[in-house]
Amino acid sequence: MASTTEEAQALVAKVLALERRRGFADDAVLGGLERFVARHLPEAAPLLAGYAARDPASREEAVTALERWLAAPLPPPGEVPVEALPGVGKRRAELLAKLGIRTVEDLLTFFPRRLEDRTGLRPIRNVRDGDVVLVEGVARAKSKVKVRRGLELVKVALDDGTGFLFGIWFNQPWVWDGIVQGERYAFWGKAQLRFGELQIENPVWERAGANEVTGRLVPVYPGTEGLSQPVLHGLVRRALDRYGGAIPDAVPAEVRARLGLLPRKEALARIHAPRTPEEFELARRSLAFEELLLLQLGVLSRRAPEGGGRALAVDRALLERFLRALPFELTPSQRRAIEAIERDLRSARPMLRLLQGDVGSGKTVVAAAACVMATSAGAQAAIMAPTEILAEQHFLVLGELLRGLPIRVAHLAGGLGRRERRDLLRAIAAGKVDLVVGTHALIQEDVVFRDLALAVVDEQHRFGVIQRAALEGKGAGTNILVMSATPIPRTVVLTLYGEFSVSVLAETPRSRGAVRTVWLSSSRREEVYREVGERLGRGEKGYVVFPVIEESEERDLRAAKAGYEELRQRFPAHGVALLHGRMPPEEKRRAMAAFRNGETQLLVATTVVEVGIDVPDASFLVIEHAERLGLAQLHQLRGRIGRAGQPAVCYALGDPTTEEGRARLSAFRDLGDGFKIAEADLRIRGPGDVLGTEQSGFVSRLKAADLARDLGLLERAREEALRLGEGGVPEALLREAERRFGEALALLGV
């Protein structure tokens, strides 16, 4: 068979010309024209169906149709259904669809998850128990027996002249028909010494010398039942042979040359059939860079155009008055963030700014300064928080920070009475309220602002894109400030927030103390609670966090309600309160108030205290079943203690049963910096799990790039995208970026 489609097409074209000269006698090649074409261009064979039995006129029509087929340009692989490939019928197409493969392009970009080195042919006499080896020899004998009901065993004896090795297959009846006694075969797999015989259970096998799935570096693809690795290899090879010439380059040649990357066609060929691991990685990097460049171009092309907003006339004197009244000194990064926000608000382009910082880094003060600026210009501001507790916390803190300023602040709480809510909504619509704090209640239809100029979204990863957009839509040219207390890895910031300007609060205010973290097995629970009792006796206060509210038969977990009853009896003299998400708002407020003012020393809660709880003198935290919580969530919980600079300790009680779980709790114990925590989380879980549902769907569109390890590549892609943007991005490149990532970017609100 010709090695490439181009060669095969050239050969077939020559034979067709000869067939035409010989009067369509079907004698241009031995065995007939139909058989020849089926061997060299199987996808074109239907055009010559029944050629030998046709009359000369019908044969001429068939040859002409095939000549036109050869001359026609190939459609882009993305427009060709995978069923167009030989060997893909309805059933196989359904199996491929389970892997997300519906077009030829999907198949070509279905990349191997790893390489297996199946080289190193070894004589059978040198094979030892446990060796992973490649052997070749003659199939001397084979047997087929039913070892028990529903289980059939095929056994083949391979002889290479130095010894015998037996291949064993369970419930693979096709092996019996595929392996012929007396022929030479290659077996690859892990050898085991059983019953005095060297055996390989379910070896990879093929005819000796084929070198398709043995004798070389072999890509291993994610699979599904019914699609073997050899089938996938064959389909990919056919797709490359047929459509390799129709693969366009997305990365400009000068960019590829500057970065030492392969053209797309060559990269696809090499990633599916690499000769060395280095060649495989170069191909992956080339394809990953292409994805990341297109992604960044898509992000940048969707940036808000100049204009569309309005320049706010910020009253600098009022801002300075606010800053001078603060009872603490701002950190350098807080000052930089406030200056950047002021520049944004004074420009005619709507602000899109991400403010991120570790627990306790002072994001609320920066947000308050932004609200002062917006309202000083005669407009309104809103802060949307994910929970009622956090919204109330913001309302209380802002009330203190803005005390004495001519800024009217209101809390659109979920528990307002009908008349109270109606009066508040009228005041907001009339502009009698300058700053509104609330939850997603802010985006309900009946909430109307007179002039919303600034929308602050706190813990923005807890809101959907639609909710953020709905708040933005409450005003004209609304400026957006999104905040995250969960530090986001730089790769994720560059990828998902590429259209946002980013301010990072790098320092922790000097009032924050270091928190010591201890990870203990649940078998040491009694030891932990003895220490808790000692701390309560010294007048300290703290939290005990449970993963669930109530116990259930399905989950063997300690629960908050039962834990509360137990701890209330154990520490009756110190005051124990309960807080969870299903409590009425008024009960939540009473529980928090009692804990803040010291009426109770121990707050038993669920993870509802993860964000928005600011009790400065809390000094200890016990997390039950810590293995059930994510790394970012654990870090957020730890941020509830030591907030006034006092020494604090976090006890993580957990018994992880997986390697990932152990890595997560080890990182929690050893790392205190939120950004290092975020990077560790990305490495441990991978980007899909870290980013959540919508973003996970987005990550699945990155087939070669790996956000956990391609930070440098992503940064280069962003640099190149910005450089291309300065000179005008070619329209074809923008169309390709939109084709590949448009839907994903739309889902993410970019």
DSSP string, 696-731: HHHHTT-SS--TTT-HHHHHHHHHHHHHHHHH---H
Distance of CA 413 to the CA centre of its chain: 34
Please list, in sequence order, all residues whose beta carbon lies within 8 angstroms of the beta carbon of residue 659, skipping any fewer than 6 positions away.
none
The type of residue at 8 is A
Predicted local distance difference test score (pLDDT) of residue 700: 55
Homologous superfamily of 515-672: P-loop containing nucleotide triphosphate hydrolases (3.40.50.300)
CA distance linking residue 654 with residue 381, whole number of Å: 43
The closest alpha carbon to 359, from 474, 524, 258, 487, belongs to 487
**Residues 32/38/41/44 CA torsion (nearest 10 deg):** 100
Q: What H or E segment, with its residue span, contains residue 576?
A: strand 576-579
pLDDT at residue 441 is higher than 80: yes
With contact defined as beta carbons under 8 Å apart, do 479 and 350 qualify? yes
Q: How many CB atoms within 10 Å of residue 674?
A: 25
Reported as a pLDDT band with limits 50, 70 and 90, residue 645 is confident
For residue 180, give Cα distances in angstroms to 118, 378, 570: 23, 88, 76
Tokens of 604: 């038993």
Please list, in sequence order, all residues whose beta carbon lies within 8 angstroms of the beta carbon of residue 258, skipping any fewer than 6 positions away.
none
- The CATH class of 75-112+225-247 is mainly alpha
CA distance linking residue 647 with residue 312, whole number of Å: 44
Reported as a pLDDT band with limits 50, 70 and 90, residue 496 is low
CA distance linking residue 55 with residue 567, whole number of Å: 95
Query: Averaged over 682-691, what is the pLDDT?
Result: 58
Query: Averaged over 273-282, what is the pLDDT?
Result: 92
Predicted local distance difference test score (pLDDT) of residue 631: 83
The pairing of strands 132-148 and 184-194 is antiparallel
Q: What H or E segment, with its residue span, contains residue 434?
A: none
Q: Fold match between 316-505 and 515-672? A: yes
pLDDT at residue 307 is higher than 60: no
For residue 161, give Cα distances in angstroms to 108, 140, 158, 193, 426: 41, 11, 9, 19, 94
Q: How many CB atoms within 10 Å of residue 35?
A: 15
Length of the chain: 750
Q: What is the mean pLDDT of the chain?
A: 86
With contact defined as beta carbons under 8 Å apart, do 486 and 632 qualify? yes
pLDDT at residue 747 is higher than 60: no
Predicted local distance difference test score (pLDDT) of residue 33: 93
With contact defined as beta carbons under 8 Å apart, do 124 and 133 qualify? no
Q: How many CB atoms within 10 Å of residue 339?
A: 12
Distance of CA 663 to the CA centre of its chain: 19
Is the pTM higher than 0.75? The answer reads no
Q: Which of 3.40.50.12280, 3.40.50.300, 3.20.10.10, 3.40.190.10 would CATH assign to domain 316-505?
A: 3.40.50.300
CA distance linking residue 397 with residue 653, whole number of Å: 32
Query: Averaged over 453-468, what is the pLDDT?
Result: 71
pLDDT at residue 744 is higher than 50: yes
Provide the H-helix boundaries in 331-417.
Answer: 332-346, 363-376, 388-401
Distance of CA 583 to the CA centre of its chain: 34
Phi then psi dihedrals of residue 244, to 5 deg: -55, -35
**For a pLDDT cut of 90, what percent of the chain falls above it?**
45
Sequence ranges of the domains in the chain: 5-72, 75-112+225-247, 119-215, 316-505, 515-672
The CATH number of the domain covering residues in 119-215? 2.40.50.140
With contact defined as beta carbons under 8 Å apart, do 226 and 95 qualify? yes
Please list, in sequence order, all residues whose beta carbon lies within 8 angstroms of the beta carbon of residue 105, skipping any fewer than 6 positions away.
76, 77, 78, 80
CA distance linking residue 469 with residue 19, whole number of Å: 66
Predicted local distance difference test score (pLDDT) of residue 715: 81
CA distance linking residue 237 with residue 423, whole number of Å: 70
Predicted local distance difference test score (pLDDT) of residue 493: 64
Reported as a pLDDT band with limits 50, 70 and 90, residue 383 is very high
CA distance linking residue 544 with residue 651, whole number of Å: 9
Beta bridge partners of 141: 157
CA distance linking residue 558 with residue 566, whole number of Å: 11
Which range in 646-650, 659-663, 709-713 is most confidently predicted, on average pLDDT?
A: 646-650
Beta bridge partners of 414: none
